Chain A
Amino acid sequence: MDSQHTSRRSILALAVATPLTVGALASCGSSGPGAAKAGEATIWYLSGAPQETIRQNAVDAFNKANPDGKLAVTLFQNDAYKTKIKTAIGANQAPTIIWTWGGGGLKSYADAGQVEDLTSWFAENADLKSKLFETAFAAGSVGDKIYAMPCETVSPIVLFTNKAVFKQVGVSEPTTWEEIMELVPKFNAAGIAPFSLGGQSRWTNMMWLEFMFDRVGGPEVFEAVFNGEADAWSNPASLQALKMIQDLVKANGFINGFQSITADSNADQALLYTGKAAMMLHGAWTYGSMKSDGGDFVSKGDLGYMNFPSVAGGKGDPTNSVGNPSSYLAISSKATDEQKTIAKKYFKDGLLTDAENEAWIASGSVPIVNGIDSKLGASDDAEWLKFVYDTAANAGNFAQSWDQALSPTAAEELLNNIEQLFGLAITPEQFATNMNAVIGK
């Protein structure tokens, strides 16, 4: 899962075959798009407001200050990018600076020797390292080596509510799983869906599993999977969490037809702010779009938010959170020395500057800079930003989204099985068996 609300399925992804052939042809004559004009390094970013503007402004400011060593930006849509970057790296056509979600994807680049080891560079620039959230480095590292610089913002997954709907039905916000299950029939009786869910996007369903696994069995349950322990998915806590999710599906906890709804179109958010659904589990990045698209929903204070409720008898610390600890930038090992120098200068001087941080805060996000909490108070969204900051900073454990943490092979199998689990097409036991088969792959 990723920190964007832009299209997950994109037209560009379809064009994959074409760049492949064209790329192969181009590589005969020149070194392709990865190596731009002399004195220029390349960077690929994700498109989509408001992040796109902030990224572009940061690069523009850097280019203005460094006329000799510039950065050339190419923007891609989210889902197109996932395929495009893999193909480009495999064909030795990677841009100088590779934007990534870290985790399993970054590990596959590092294992293939395609990205620079930044460990010693960070040791030389200790002040830069200490400026950033310590927790953000884990997903940018493989083993004890740092392969990517954390950047941009922290995005925990949180439980959003529509307070107006809660008032209308006359119930209070849930603090435990048991209360959630009691709320479900009440909202259904009132003709309001308890939970909005963009189920066709699959990673949206995964967020539920991430929290249920944590609350029932603690972060150790998924860590065992991550560490490749045999049959880790068959842990009793895992089976119980899977069953509880299916119980919620069977109780009509999710909006009718959720399998037809995608997160690309932000229809899941629209269900919440139009009052057709009472609650939604989603990434912190949806705050900005609900604020801009939802009319006065956010401004008049109808949007509620909280960390995921606890489960009675569960082992997980209720302060635990999941989500994206940050975004990451890696440097291609195939870039020229000149390009690498520009990239490192950008990492040091061009990223998370005061201007960029202000822009992130204005968009309702928390940049991963230590001490940033002192600057949040002045914003219109101070309360929300403080909540996000506290959720991330006080989390007993902040787990990276599963599909980013796992290898691409295991992540694809996971998303497939999650879809079937939510469609009640497989039992928790079958889910565990299917997933055990790809542990460590």
Chain B
Amino acid sequence: MGAVTPSATGRKTGSLSWLVLPALVMFVGFGIIPLIGVVVLSFTNWDGIGAITAAGFANWGSVLTDPGLPHALGVTFLVMFLSWAVQTPLSILLGVFISGHQKYRAVLAVLYFLPLLLSSAAIAIAYKALLDPNFGLGAGLGLPFLSQNWLGRPALAMGVVIFIVSWQFIPFHSLIYQGGVRQIPRSMYEAAEIDGAGRVRQFFSMTLPQLKNTIITSSTLMIVGSLTFFDLIFVLTGGGPSDATRVLALDMYLRGFRGSLMGPASVIATILVLIGLALALLLQRLGGRGGASSQLEGA
């Protein structure tokens, strides 16, 4: 929820503020109230079935001193950083490429977007079958280097997760960048060409700076989104091997629903919410204030 910024037309639209009501009701009903519930649960003992009993700060104490927490946090931030570092440059390049108006690019763009249409669970199951060391892609194609213990070695499993996450989400971010690039006025490029700037120079000196806000939007989505990576990792590795891919969201699920420890799971959920909020605020800060820093012509 972004803050409502007063604008020049504020007085006219002020009377229409009730329009926000349906969204607000949904947000309170499905966002705020469950969130309060989770915070309350974090101070209780509950196995999901029996009676709920108050636990004071015991759950917070045990989770915060559990070595599993820093580990899960580390894994979460590693996934966050790596998936951002892989996705951002590739998405920008792809986005710039498909923003051209040639016909063949439109065809390629459709192909690139295919992963977007698949659910994470389906992707995970498909990759799991492809990566099977004995009956997977390596065996099928007769390429031994593809028959690795992909999901059984911590470093390899992490690499596989990053690869699949990137494969899945690069199309989405390319789409955002494509839109961003198309908004950059043609006239600027024409001026640059007259000044003798080459393709590469144009990209670094004009396209990239002009995409600043798009990069921030896309990065916010990636970073906050990567906090809640769950389905893909759950189906692909279940957090293994030896907890190497046990991100915070998965840790929460496994503790709560597998281990029947709803109290500690709620503590982790609360921590996740706090980290997500902090990151979103930080990224907004980094991006300056909305339209104020727009470099678009006429803005």
- Mark A residues whose CB is within 8 Å of B: 9, 11, 13-14, 16, 21, 82-83, 86-87, 89-90, 108-109, 111-112, 114, 199-200, 202, 255-262, 265, 267, 270-271, 276, 407-409, 412-413, 416, 419-420, 423, 425
Chain A residues near B260: list those with CB within 8 A: 86, 108, 407-409, 412
Q: Which of B51, B132, B151, B238 contacts A9 (CB 8 A)?
A: B238
User: Are B152 and A259 touching (Cβ within 8 A)?
Assistant: yes
Q: How far is the CB of B20 from chain A (nearest CB, A)?
A: 22
User: Are B51 and A256 touching (Cβ within 8 A)?
Assistant: no
Chain B residues near A270: list those with CB within 8 A: 134-135
B53 interface contact, C-beta 8 A? no
Q: Which of B34, B240, B258 contacts A200 (CB 8 A)?
A: B240
Q: Which of A16, A82, A261, A423 contacts B133 (CB 8 A)?
A: A261
Q: How far is the CB of B122 from chain A (nearest CB, A)?
A: 8
User: Are A200 and B238 touching (Cβ within 8 A)?
Assistant: yes
Surface stretch bound by A, among B9-17, B42-50, B282-290: B42-50
B294 interface contact, C-beta 8 A? no
Chain B residues near A202: list those with CB within 8 A: 238, 240
User: Are A256 and B47 touching (Cβ within 8 A)?
Assistant: no
Q: Which of A9, A86, A87, A271 contacts B234 (CB 8 A)?
A: A9
Q: From DSSP, what is the main secondary structure of chain A's interface residues? A: helix
Find residues 86-139 in chain B having any chain A CB closer than 8 Å to their own CB. 119, 121-122, 125, 128-129, 131-135
Measured CA separation A199–B237 after assembly (Å): 11
User: Are A408 and B150 touching (Cβ within 8 A)?
Assistant: no
Measured CA separation A13–B125 after assembly (Å): 14
User: Are B30 and A21 touching (Cβ within 8 A)?
Assistant: yes
Chain A residues near B240: list those with CB within 8 A: 200, 202, 259, 419
Q: Which of B49, B129, B261 contacts A86 (CB 8 A)?
A: B49
Measured CA separation A169–B241 after assembly (Å): 33
Measured CA separation A109–B48 after assembly (Å): 10
Q: Which of B134, B147, B230, B234 contacts A267 (CB 8 A)?
A: B134
User: Are A108 and B49 touching (Cβ within 8 A)?
Assistant: yes
Measured CA separation A9–B151 after assembly (Å): 15
Closest to A85 in B: B49
Q: How far is the CB of B94 from chain A (nearest CB, A)?
A: 28
Q: How far is the CB of A406 from chain B (nearest CB, A)?
A: 11
Closest to A270 in B: B135
Size of interface on B: residues with Cβ below 8 Å to A: 42
User: Are A87 and B48 touching (Cβ within 8 A)?
Assistant: yes
Measured CA separation A416–B243 after assembly (Å): 8
Contact sample, A vs B, 29 pairs, CB 8 Å cutoff? A11-B235, A86-B257, A89-B49, A108-B49, A111-B50, A112-B47, A114-B49, A200-B152, A200-B241, A202-B238, A202-B240, A255-B134, A256-B149, A257-B134, A257-B149, A257-B152, A260-B152, A265-B128, A265-B129, A267-B132, A267-B134, A270-B135, A407-B260, A409-B260, A412-B254, A412-B259, A419-B240, A423-B152, A423-B242
Measured CA separation A108–B150 after assembly (Å): 37
Q: From DSSP, what is the main secondary structure of chain B's interface residues? A: loop
User: Are A409 and B261 touching (Cβ within 8 A)?
Assistant: yes
Chain B residues near A108: list those with CB within 8 A: 47, 49-50, 260
Contact (A423, B241) CB under 8 Å given A265-B132, A267-B134: yes
Q: How far is the CB of B162 from chain A (nearest CB, A)?
A: 17
Measured CA separation A261–B235 after assembly (Å): 13
Closest to B160 in A: A260
Chain B residues near A419: list those with CB within 8 A: 240-242
User: Are B241 and A259 touching (Cβ within 8 A)?
Assistant: yes
Chain A residues near B148: list those with CB within 8 A: 257
Interface mask (B152-185 → A, CB under 8 Å = 1, otherwise 0): 1100000000000000000000000000000000
User: Are B149 and A260 touching (Cβ within 8 A)?
Assistant: yes
User: Are A90 and B149 touching (Cβ within 8 A)?
Assistant: no
Find residues 8-29 in chain B having any chain A CB closer than 8 Å to their own CB. none
Chain B residues near A114: list those with CB within 8 A: 49
Q: Which of A14, A82, A259, A420 contacts B149 (CB 8 A)?
A: A259
Measured CA separation A420–B243 after assembly (Å): 8
Chain A residues near B241: list those with CB within 8 A: 200, 259, 419, 423
Chain B residues near A200: list those with CB within 8 A: 151-152, 237-238, 240-241
Measured CA separation A9–B253 after assembly (Å): 13
Q: How far is the CB of A200 from chain B (nearest CB, A)?
A: 6
User: Are A260 and B131 touching (Cβ within 8 A)?
Assistant: yes
Chain A residues near B261: list those with CB within 8 A: 409
Measured CA separation A87–B153 after assembly (Å): 33
User: Are B152 and A412 touching (Cβ within 8 A)?
Assistant: no
User: Are A271 and B134 touching (Cβ within 8 A)?
Assistant: yes
Query: Top 6 nearest A-B pairs by Cβ distance?
Result: A259-B152, A112-B50, A257-B133, A257-B149, A412-B259, A408-B260
Chain B residues near A257: list those with CB within 8 A: 133-134, 147-150, 152
Chain B CB within 10 A, most for which of A114, A255, A425: A425
Measured CA separation A255–B152 after assembly (Å): 12
Measured CA separation A89–B46 after assembly (Å): 13
Closest to B50 in A: A112
User: Are A14 and B242 touching (Cβ within 8 A)?
Assistant: no
Measured CA separation A409–B50 after assembly (Å): 14
Give 4 new A-B contacts, CB below 8 A, not counting A108-B260, A416-B243: A408-B258, A409-B259, A409-B261, A412-B259
User: Are B235 and A260 touching (Cβ within 8 A)?
Assistant: no
Find residues 201-240 in chain B having any chain A CB closer than 8 Å to their own CB. 230-231, 234-235, 237-238, 240
Chain B residues near A423: list those with CB within 8 A: 152, 241-242
Chain A residues near B257: list those with CB within 8 A: 16, 83, 86-87
Measured CA separation A111–B46 after assembly (Å): 13
Chain B residues near A11: list those with CB within 8 A: 119, 121-122, 125, 235
Measured CA separation A195–B136 after assembly (Å): 19
Measured CA separation A191–B241 after assembly (Å): 25
Q: How far is the CB of A330 from chain B (nearest CB, A)?
A: 13
Chain B CB within 10 A, most for which of A111, A259, A262, A413: A259
Closest to A438 in B: B259
Q: How far is the CB of B230 from chain A (nearest CB, A)?
A: 8
Closest to A407 in B: B260
Q: How far is the CB of A267 from chain B (nearest CB, A)?
A: 6
